[in-house]
Chains A and B, each alone.
Chain A
Amino acid sequence: EPEVTQTPSHQVTQMGQEVILRCVPISNHLYFYWYRQILGQKVEFLVSFYNNEISEKSEIFDDQFSVERPDGSNFTLKIRSTKLEDSAMYFCASSRTGVGANVLTFGAGSRLTVL
């Protein structure tokens, strides 16, 4: 069964450092997403991406965050200058267009720890 893969599974970084989280969405999906989950809290929407541009973003997704699809398979989330409160599990997801477009397939997540 096709799956979304994410790397790294866990990253530890110092406050102020840049972090790039990588995702390989399902190959025939055209919508891509990043969500995050702070430990013990809700899953929160960050951003959706379609046709090589951001289609929607939340208030969490400020200027410190950016997304990119550098090639035909990868989808990345960059945090320019990490803060302690960025520590969370970051989930990448993808979905089709048309029927089933609202059904997201999630990756296993990348745990980010900011010290």
Chain B
Amino acid sequence: GESVGLHLPTLSVQEGDNSIINCAYSNSASDYFIWYKQESGKGPQFIIDIRSNMDKRQGQRVTVLLNKTVKHLSLQIAATQPGDSAVYFCAEKPAGNNRKLIWGLGTSLAVNP
């Protein structure tokens, strides 16, 4: 079946360090991937997205890398700050005329001051 999974359920980093959150996906036909951040008591918040025809995309302090060969997605956060503490979800969209996102379980990022 289709699934998106995360390698590390929890990640603890020191403030100022770089964070890398990994995600594996199983549907090689997915054409779009997206990272969301969810803070406690809030809904998921868009961070960054990438289409399957790209390998890398950069935002402000965040970079998403896509390796289609091994069906792996990662989110890199530079100079991690306490405000980055949250659960991070990757999600994939199967190819085609649909709007369904398939979500991973989530990785909890804890930033230590």
Contacts and interface: CB of A to CB of B under 8 A. Distances in A.
Interface of A: 4, 31, 33, 35, 41-45, 48, 55-56, 58, 91, 93, 95, 101-109
Given A56-B98, A104-B101, A106-B44, 5 more contacts: A4-B43, A58-B100, A101-B99, A102-B34, A103-B34
Indicate the size class of the contact surface on chain B: 20 to 34
Interface of B: 32, 34, 36, 41-46, 49, 89, 91, 93, 98-106
A108 B43 contact: yes
Contacts of B36: 106
A93 to B, nearest CB: 8
B41 A108 contact: yes
Contact of B99 (A33, A91, A105): A33
Contacts of A31: 99
Contacts of B43: 4, 91, 93, 106-109
9 contacts: A42-B103, A42-B104, A43-B44, A43-B101, A56-B98, A103-B46, A104-B46, A106-B43, A109-B42
Nearest to A33: B99
A48 B46 contact: no
A48 B100 contact: yes
A33 B98 CA distance: 12
A103 B99 CA distance: 10
Of residues A43, A48, A101, A107, which shows the largest number of chain B Cβ atoms within 10 Å of its Cβ?
A: A43
